[in-house]
Amino acid sequence: MSLDWSKLNIQQWLKDAIGSLGFQTMTTVQASAIPIFLQNKDVVVEAVTGSGKTLSFVIPIIEKMTRVEHQKYHVNAIVLSPTRELAQQIDKVFQSVLQFNPEENGIRTQLILGGVNTLEQDLETFKKRNPHIIISTPGRLQELIKSKKIKTTDLEVLILDEADRLLDTNFSKEMDFILASLPKQKRTGLFSATISKAYETLHKTGIRNPIKIKVNAKNNKPKSLQMYYHVVKPEDKLNLMFKILTEYHFQKAMVYFPTCVSVDYYYQFFKTLTQYKDQLKFFSLHGKLKTPARLKTLSNFDASNDGKTILMTTDVASRGIDIDDVDLIIQLDPPTDPDSFMHRCGRTGRAGRFGQAITFLNEGREEDYINFLEVKDVDIEELELPFEKGVDLGLTSWNLQDRARHDKAVHAFVSFVRYYTKHSVNSIFRVGNIDWSSLAKFYGVTRLPSMPEINKKDSNVSEFIGDYDFEKWEQFKYLDENKEKARVDELAKEKKKFERQEIKKKKEENSAWSVKVGKKQARNEKNINKRDLELDMKGEDDNESEQEMDWKDMIRAQKKQKKNEKNDDIAQFDDL
Ligand SMILES: Nc1ncnc2c1ncn2[C@@H]1O[C@H](COP(=O)(O)OP(=O)(O)OP(=O)(O)O)[C@@H](O)[C@H]1O
């Protein structure tokens, strides 16, 4: 296989552009996918992270666009991405090549993302720009097609980048609509580092006899990526992470948190750690932020070049993101989707650059994850740390300064538990195996919340963490005066309600007692009458000893006698 760009059957200006961008030779995936895609075949391409899949579809698309007869408001190529960040990045790759197009305004792209412009604004731009290529996410593309303002009958190419993600159930509504709306006669290309899961849903794309291209890599990872795990107690994770961040040499790190709430929560806390202010610079990126803020954060992180920079993020930035200089990945917890593991690690060690990815595993059952990865042929080594876990960062005491912080901590804690229940490898990640106290310390939670997953009656589970108790809990204040007043008022109301309930309960108990006494008396009288009656019936002498005999004993004796008689009957019956 030739890796020489000049051997490709593409426009000379495209070859020059590639040269100007500094890509001297093709990567293996480019050398195998580009010629086939140019030959009008459908392709399904699987190659490890950072191997250059983007150019594998960008170059053939541009080449095809040089030959189409573009009609007004007709779109000729669509590239879909599961996230807005990735869509923006793909658009940048198109621009980087198209800037060398000698025909000014020759091939036009439009990046269309939900949450940035309104649909009307996007349609307005579409009308003005009249693009050949649209790069979008499924939600907004669906809206565009529904608007009927864009024509897709001339569509030549459809690309699903991170195809397995686009074809999973999360996007099925949008994708079903989009795929049903597009013409059948087109070339389709599916790209991902993990495509095997998508084979089951391939038929949905309408793809026929695709050429499957799989670029095998030793241990299913780029050579330049080193992967490590470290087994740790949840309560030690944060300190250890800071120790790594301060001791390791790196330029940019991405730290994966399980949920958006935890990114927000720890980001607020990390900002207060003034001792690291000059050393570590944090950014936060997650799916609950507004799109413009997300895109800005990512480009600021990309542009940052002073000191060690850390992007605190979630799975929203697990796929496709290509940022130079990211040389360290830390996963505080493994992802719920095992495929995501390689995508997260693959944000470093890209295109031959060296990178390390460290994954923390909770002590106990989670250690089985190593075997699980080995079975999947993922080569991961244990990380030997030359230092201790590091000093306590004071998260709990920071929390105890304001009840609002604790509320947020509980929110993050609860969202983690929900996250944990979503693990697809649920034989390893079992809620029942969580060390609640240690997890609470990791989140700086001093009182475990009430949730069905936590059995507070279990003798191994303590509701209050450390030396915290109910009294301290009641006195725990909000810094915000209004909030605190509302809490105190609410507490007083609850106390009153409780007192009223107690009084009512007591009253009920008292009345119940008099009723009980009455009933007992009545019962006694009845019993006396019964005994008299029985004594009469037996015709026994009314002597004192007999009178003193408890009538119950008599009944018991009678019963015993009857039973014996009955037993005698049975015995006789048996004899027969
Ligand atoms: N032929 C090439 N020579 C050198 N570098 C290249 C070449 N092609 C692409 N690159 C660079 O390699 C990096 C990774 O490329 P790209 O983002 O396309 O990877 P990918 O395979 O799509 O990864 P992922 O699966 O993580 O999305 C980019 O920085 C890109 O500029």
Distance 55 CA to ligand 1 centre (A): 7
Q: Quote the pLDDT of residue 292.
A: 94
Please name the residue whose Cα sits nearest to atom 27 of ligand 1.
320
Task: Report the SS3 class of residue 429.
Answer: coil
Count the residues in the chain: 576
Angstrom distance (rounded) from CA 449 to CA 410: 7
Q: What are the Cα distances from residue 2, in Å, to 34, 57, 504?
A: 12, 18, 89
Pocket test for ligand 1, best of 3, 51, 59, 225 (most atoms within 8 A of CB): 51
How many helices (H) and strands (E) are present in the chain, helices listed first?
20, 14
532-551 burial, b if ≥16 CB within 10 A, otherwise e? Answer: eeebeeeeeeeeeeeeeeeb
Please name the residue whose Cα sits nearest to atom 22 of ligand 1.
53
Distance 432 CA to ligand 1 centre (A): 42
Angstrom distance (rounded) from CA 104 to CA 107: 8
Residue in the block written with tokens 């106390």:
495
Please name the residue whose Cα sits nearest to atom 25 of ligand 1.
49
Distance 23 CA to ligand 1 centre (A): 10
Distance 350 CA to ligand 1 centre (A): 7
370-397 burial, b if ≥16 CB within 10 A, otherwise e? Answer: bebbeeeebebeebeeeeebbeebebbe
Strand positions, DSSP E, 185-248: 187-192, 211-214, 225-232
Q: How far apart are the first and last CA of the chain?
A: 99
- Amino acid identity of 226? Q
Distance 52 CA to ligand 1 centre (A): 3
The sign one gets for the Cα dihedral 435, 438, 444, 447 is: positive
CB 362 within 8 Å of CB 234: yes
Pocket test for ligand 1, best of 1, 15, 23 (most atoms within 8 A of CB): 23
Pocket test for ligand 1, best of 8, 27, 54 (most atoms within 8 A of CB): 54
Distance 519 CA to ligand 1 centre (A): 88
Which token pair is 163?
């195809």
Please name the residue whose Cα sits nearest to atom 4 of ligand 1.
23
Q: What is the CA radius of gyration of the chain?
A: 36
Q: State pTM to two decimals.
A: 0.85
Task: Report the SS3 class of residue 220.
Answer: helix
Structural domains in the chain? 5-215 (3.40.50.300), 225-468 (3.40.50.300)
Please name the residue whose Cα sits nearest to atom 29 of ligand 1.
322
Distance 14 CA to ligand 1 centre (A): 17
Distance of CA 76 to the CA centre of its chain: 36
Distance 51 CA to ligand 1 centre (A): 5
Q: Quote the pLDDT of residue 206.
A: 87
Helix/strand/coil percentages in the chain, nearest 5: 50, 15, 35
Shortest-distance atom of ligand 1 to CA 54 = 18
HEC sequence for 78-144: EEECCCHHHHHHHHHHHHHHHCCCCCCCCCCEEEECCCCCCHHHHHHHHHHHCCCEEEECHHHHHHH
Pocket test for ligand 1, best of 45, 342, 350, 353 (most atoms within 8 A of CB): 350
Distance 59 CA to ligand 1 centre (A): 13
Q: Give kind and range of the element (H or E) at residue 421.
A: helix 403-421
Which token pair is 20?
């100007």
Distance 208 CA to ligand 1 centre (A): 27
Q: Output the ligand 1 site: residues, CB below 6 A.
A: 23, 26-27, 30, 47, 49-55, 193, 320, 322, 346, 350-351
Distance 29 CA to ligand 1 centre (A): 10
Task: Report the SS3 class of residue 469.
Answer: coil
Distance 31 CA to ligand 1 centre (A): 13
Helices (H), 117-251: 119-129, 138-147, 163-166, 172-181, 237-247
Distance 56 CA to ligand 1 centre (A): 9
Please name the residue whose Cα sits nearest to atom 3 of ligand 1.
23
Other C-beta atoms closer than 10 Å to the C-beta of 477 total 15
Angstrom distance (rounded) from CA 544 to CA 560: 24
CB 297 within 8 Å of CB 283: yes
Please name the residue whose Cα sits nearest to atom 1 of ligand 1.
26
Task: Report the SS3 class of residue 157.
Answer: strand
Please name the residue whose Cα sits nearest to atom 2 of ligand 1.
23
Distance 125 CA to ligand 1 centre (A): 30
Which token pair is 564?
């014996």
Angstrom distance (rounded) from CA 482 to CA 472: 20
Closest by CA to 132, choosing from 191, 200, 78, is 78
Pocket test for ligand 1, best of 53, 213, 254 (most atoms within 8 A of CB): 53
CB 282 within 8 Å of CB 267: yes
Residue in the block written with tokens 């923006």:
88
Q: Quote the pLDDT of residue 552.
A: 45
Task: Report the SS3 class of residue 202.
Answer: helix
163-175 burial, b if ≥16 CB within 10 A, otherwise e? Answer: bbbbbbeebeebb
- Render each residue's pLDDT in the chain as its tens digit; 576 residues: 789 999 999 999 999 999 999 999 999 999 999 999 999 899 999 999 999 999 999 999 999 999 999 999 999 999 999 999 999 999 999 999 999 999 877 899 999 998 899 999 999 999 999 999 999 999 999 999 999 999 999 999 999 999 999 999 999 999 999 999 999 999 999 999 999 888 888 888 988 889 999 998 888 899 999 999 999 999 999 999 999 999 999 999 999 999 999 999 999 999 999 999 999 999 999 999 999 999 999 999 999 998 999 999 999 999 999 999 999 999 999 999 999 999 999 999 999 999 999 999 999 999 999 999 999 888 899 998 877 777 889 999 999 999 999 999 999 999 999 999 999 999 999 999 999 999 999 999 999 999 999 988 888 889 999 888 999 999 999 999 999 999 999 999 998 999 899 888 888 887 765 566 666 666 665 665 555 444 334 433 333 333 333 434 444 555 555 555 444 433 332 322
Angstrom distance (rounded) from CA 295 to CA 23: 26
Shortest-distance atom of ligand 1 to CA 21 = 31
Question: Torsion angle, CA of 433/435/439/445, rounded to 10 degrees?
Answer: 120
Pocket test for ligand 1, best of 18, 322, 343 (most atoms within 8 A of CB): 322
Which token pair is 313?
């993020």
Helices (H), 272-367: 291-303, 338-345
Q: What are the Cα distances from residue 57, in Å, to 86, 133, 188, 192?
A: 14, 12, 10, 12
Please name the residue whose Cα sits nearest to atom 31 of ligand 1.
52
**Residues 6 or more apart in contact with residue 216 via CB below 8 angstroms:** none
Please name the residue whose Cα sits nearest to atom 23 of ligand 1.
50
DSSP structure class, residue 447: B
DSSP structure class, residue 229: E
Closest by CA to 313, choosing from 338, 294, 292, is 294
Distance 506 CA to ligand 1 centre (A): 75
Residue in the block written with tokens 């008299």:
532
- Amino acid identity of 364? G
Shortest-distance atom of ligand 1 to CA 5 = 1
The CA-based angle 220-222-226, given to 5 degrees, is 95
